[in-house]
Structure 1
């Protein structure tokens, strides 16, 4: 089962405040554990939404919306793509994760739709 693990943005991450060196090193060790367990497929952090754009679709029309976007807690600051046996394993790994933000934060786990799911 593949899951996308989303690190939700915070006011600090949207301001471009980077984690401390200690936090980055702890996350590096955690990523090494994931890699060594054969779970990690991809991982990265994202620039603040002020650096992004959205494309709004309405029929054949397209509208470009420049960041920043509202509601930081509804935005994504980073992600992992994991291959796990089930959602319980994904939850167990997230519980081992160092806090990805200096203060309160959330991590969301979403299963990917596989081709058989779309038939």
Structure 2
């Protein structure tokens, strides 16, 4: 089983100093996101796209994430409980989410390092996505075809859906001590329902990729976040 452990954002993670060298060293496989003032949200409604520039409220954001392999939700939570206490002076908030796409779309993980700027494309959740309502099979087939094509071309580095928060949990640290709260969670606006990790030469090229993707929903909101390169 695969899980996405999301480090929720806060005021500290929205600064250029985040994540800092000690946290990067402690979490070498995590992907850290640039502050949301560099981000955009793309909204599609009735077939038309609009773009909303950041910054966005920290409570709605992810600061970074790691994809882990664990035999169960309990094992993934235990992994999250060992998060470095130096992060946010032991006050970090994590979300543990099982990966997987309703309807059978295939996850992608090329395990290839990017040679262009990597961008995380995060699907903002909705009641339908949180309920895991599956798209029609022909729509899933189009998504799988596009994902495979873009992975072969080296544009798509990774991607998967996230199952509803009824299958997830939050790990909240206070003074370095973790408290676990099982889902579901009701703050739909704050949730992520899936992700793609792409690489592009420019943010405009990344936006064009988003607009060309065969999303299965007529109305959708996505957040485009540049992924920070490890410090030298």
Cα deviation, residue 65, structure 1 = 1.2
1:107 maps to which of 191, 203, 222: 222
Distance 1:37 1:60 in 2: 43
Q: 1:7·1:100 contact (CA, 8 Å) conserved in 2?
A: no
Specify which structure has the bigger relative contact order, considering alpha-carbon pairs within 8 angstroms and separated by 6 or more residues.
1
Q: How many residues align?
A: 116
Post-superposition Cα deviations, 1:67-104, rounded to whole Å, max 9, x if no partner, equal 11122232111111112112111101000012243x42
Q: Are residues 1:87 and 2:203 paired?
A: yes
Structure that is richer in helix per residue: 1
Cα deviation, residue 5, structure 1 = 0.8
Post-superposition Cα deviations, 1:12-48, rounded to whole Å, max 9, x if no partner, equal 1111211111221121222133224311111111110
Which of structure 1's runs of 4+ aligned residues deviate more than 6 A?
Answer: none
When the two chains are superposed, the root-mean-square deviation of aligned CA atoms in Å is: 1.6
What is the 5 A alignment of 1:1-119?
1-101=117-217, 103-116=218-231
Distance 1:108 1:2 in 2: 14
Q: 1:2·1:111 contact (CA, 8 Å) conserved in 2?
A: yes
Unaligned stretches of 5+ residues in structure 1: none
Structure index of larger Rg: 2
Unaligned stretches of 5+ residues in structure 2: 1-116
